[in-house]
Amino acid sequence: MTPISWQDARAAVHAAGAKVAAGRPSVAVPLAEADGLTLAGPLVARTPLPAFPTSSIDGYAVRGAGPWKVTGRILAGRPAAPLTDDGTCVEIATGAMVPEGTTTILRVEDATVSALVEGTPRAPREWRDVGEECAAGEELLPAGTTVTPGVLGLAASCGYDELAVVPAPRVATIVFGDELLTAGDPGDGRVRDALGPQVPGWLRRLGAVPAPPVGPVPDTLEAHVDALRSAVETGADVICTTGGTMRGPVDHLHPALAALDAEYVVNQVAVRPGFPMLVAALPDGRFVAGLPGNPQSAIVALVSLVVPLLAGLTGRPLPVLSPVTLGAGVPGRGDYTHLALVAQDPAGTYSPLPHAGSSMLRGLSRAAGFAVIPPRSEGTSGATAALVPLP
Ligand SMILES: Nc1nc2c(c(=O)[nH]1)N[C@H]1C(S)=C(S)[C@@H](COP(=O)(O)OP(=O)(O)OC[C@H]3O[C@@H](n4cnc5c(N)ncnc54)[C@H](O)[C@@H]3O)O[C@H]1N2
Ligand code: MOO
């Protein structure tokens, strides 16, 4: 089998997720519950912003030439009665509505106040016009935008109480492997499960709703099929499995997927480490992401396939990878893409970490992400490389 290229795998998985997402309804949630979710449609301004002419200073809203007689005061939060006569003014607070008929606004620090108010107003006039930021009906943000606190503030400022969002995908984690311990010290052929404790946390940082990990699931085909069926019954949109992606004597993932009539979206990717990674679609539109058992390889699979899958499922674009400058050389991996663990140097460049073997987690635990070294190339100090960030 020729593995698909890493770039093509990301695109294929993203497209598969997006196809499923296109058929799903959005949900309306209160602003307070929308942080981190994805806009299901464009955010359209309900009102112009500002919605009324607004003073940007504390001072006097004046009409005509000065000096001016003070006829009242307008504070923020009240409707303003018009200024009808030349030579009059009202005291005005920052954020207050500018009365109709105002010629300009004089800053309090530029005003001489006795029986009348005198002074020279500054140019340009110091108020914000209706619609200066946006018109009613204007598209402020496209569908697929991640709702950040900034988005929530913008939505609130133009009148939204709720937002139409794509619900966060629910993701199950199933850990395979008879050799795994869930407590105590490793030894005598047993290793600690290092994926159950970390995969849900990465998923949560990616905006998914992770279920607690299930397993270790015994190394039988029946137990594998049962575990996958149970995860489907919990309503998981994506099921991440760990281990069993190869064809060893107790690697049951592929036969279990066949038993569930799953179809591969990608099966093996030309990337090191982690090439046995896969994503398969179940007949009802759920996905299984097979993460290899070697712990670092599993996380390479998570950032390579699960990140684009979740982006597709939530209507977000395929994440664009930012270039970083390498602070040291990074070897290539022949015809495969190399995802090399890197950390940020004090100078701001990114350099490879020691203890970066596929079975190791020491490097990963202090990494910023993976530098992407394309096939048939190597990274040199001072060159740029795309960074796949750890979430
Ligand atoms: N004949 C070949 N054997 C292997 C190849 C190969 O090309 N030919 N590739 C190797 C590579 S690369 C990887 S990656 C692994 C993938 O193996 P599986 O996904 O089938 O995973 P397992 O065999 O179950 O486990 C591999 C390794 O990882 C340890 N492991 C598994 N789960 C956990 C966990 N939750 N926490 C900590 N460690 C875990 C497991 O004990 C094994 O040491 O296949 C290679 N073999
Ligand atoms: O590709 Mo495996 O994932 O090197 O350890």
CATH number for position 359: 2.40.340.10
> What per-residue confidence (pLDDT) applies to 309?
98
CA 376-379-384 angle, 5° bins: 120
CB burial readout 67-80, b (16+ within 10 A) else e: ebeebeebeeeeeb
Mean local confidence (pLDDT), 228-248: 95
Determine the distance separating the centroid of ligand 1 and the alpha carbon of 179, expressed in angstroms.
Answer: 11
Coil, strand or helix: which one is 174?
strand
Q: Which residue has the tokens 């204007």?
A: 138
Last residue of a domain, one of 99, 128, 157: 128
CATH number for position 75: 2.170.190.11
Which residues are within 8 A (CB) of 242 and not within 5 positions of it... i.e. 6 or more apart?
Answer: 173, 174, 175, 176, 177, 195, 196, 199, 291, 292, 293, 298
Neighbours of 144 (CB within 10 A): 18
Mean local confidence (pLDDT), 257-273: 97
Ligand number nearest CA of 290 is: 1
- Ligand 1 neighbours, Cβ below 6 Å, are 175, 177, 179-180, 191, 193-195, 242-246, 248, 251, 276, 292-295, 297, 358
- d(C-alpha 298, C-alpha 293), whole Å: 6
Q: Are residues 173 and 303 in the same domain?
A: yes
- d(C-alpha 184, C-alpha 125), whole Å: 71
Assigned token pair, 33: 């519950």
Instruction: Convert the pLDDT of each residue in 171-191 to its tens digit.
Output: 999 999 999 999 999 999 999
> What per-residue confidence (pLDDT) applies to 23?
84
Q: Are residues 104 and 181 in the same domain?
A: no
Query: Is residue 326's pLDDT more than 90?
Result: yes
- d(C-alpha 61, C-alpha 101), whole Å: 9
Q: Are residues 293 and 238 in the same domain?
A: yes
Instruction: Convert the pLDDT of each residue in 349-358 to its tens digit.
Output: 999 999 989 9
> What per-residue confidence (pLDDT) applies to 1?
72
ipTM of the complex: 0.98
Query: Is residue 372's pLDDT more than 90?
Result: yes
Assigned token pair, 269: 């990717």
> What per-residue confidence (pLDDT) applies to 251?
83
Q: Are residues 275 and 381 in the same domain?
A: no
Which residue among 6, 333, 358, 370 has the greatest number of ligand 2 atoms within 8 angstroms of its CB, and so is best to mutate?
Answer: 358
Q: What is the mean pLDDT of the chain?
A: 96
Dihedral sign from CA coordinates of 170, 176, 182, 184: negative
Residue type, 249: P
Q: Are residues 99 and 205 in the same domain?
A: no
Q: Are residues 208 and 275 in the same domain?
A: yes
Coil, strand or helix: which one is 351?
strand
Q: Which residue has the tokens 């996958």?
A: 228
Distance of CA 191 to the CA centre of its chain: 33
Residue 66: pLDDT band with limits 50, 70, 90: confident
- d(C-alpha 240, C-alpha 196), whole Å: 10
Q: Are residues 148 and 173 in the same domain?
A: no
- d(C-alpha 277, C-alpha 273), whole Å: 10
Where residue 271 falls (left for φ over 0; alpha for ψ -120 to 50; beta otherwise) is beta
Instruction: Convert the pLDDT of each residue in 52-63 to its tens digit.
Output: 999 999 999 999
CATH number for position 260: 3.40.980.10
Q: Ligand 1 atom closest to Cα of 196? A: 35
Q: Which of 119, 70, 122 is nearest to 99 (CA)?
A: 70
Mean local confidence (pLDDT), 3-12: 97
How buried is residue 372: exposed, middle or buried, by Cβ count under 10 Å (0-12/13-18/19+)? buried
Q: Are residues 159 and 33 in the same domain?
A: yes
Determine the distance separating the centroid of ligand 2 and the alpha carbon of 69, expressed in angstroms.
Answer: 82
> What per-residue confidence (pLDDT) applies to 56?
96
> What per-residue confidence (pLDDT) applies to 195?
98
> What per-residue confidence (pLDDT) applies to 215?
87
- d(C-alpha 197, C-alpha 67), whole Å: 73
Q: Are residues 359 and 265 in the same domain?
A: no
> What per-residue confidence (pLDDT) applies to 384?
98
Q: Are residues 63 and 149 in the same domain?
A: no
Instruction: Convert the pLDDT of each residue in 140-165 to its tens digit.
Output: 999 999 999 999 999 999 999 999 99
Determine the distance separating the centroid of ligand 2 and the alpha carbon of 296, expressed in angstroms.
Answer: 8
Instruction: Convert the pLDDT of each residue in 189-223 to its tens digit.
Output: 999 999 999 999 999 999 999 999 998 999 999 99
Q: Are residues 213 and 108 in the same domain?
A: no
Transcribe 43-85 into DSSP letters. EE-SS-BSSS-EESSSEEEEESSSSBEEEEEE-TTS--PPP-S
CATH number for position 32: 3.90.105.10
Determine what percent of the chain falls in helix, strand and coil, rounding each to the nearest 5: 20, 30, 45
Last residue of a domain, one of 128, 155, 185: 128
> What per-residue confidence (pLDDT) applies to 187?
94
Q: Are residues 67 and 183 in the same domain?
A: no
Query: How many domains, the chain?
Result: 4
Domain that holds residue 101: 54-128
Determine the distance separating the centroid of ligand 1 and the alpha carbon of 168, expressed in angstroms.
Answer: 30
Query: Is residue 24's pLDDT more than 90?
Result: no
Residue 130: pLDDT band with limits 50, 70, 90: very high
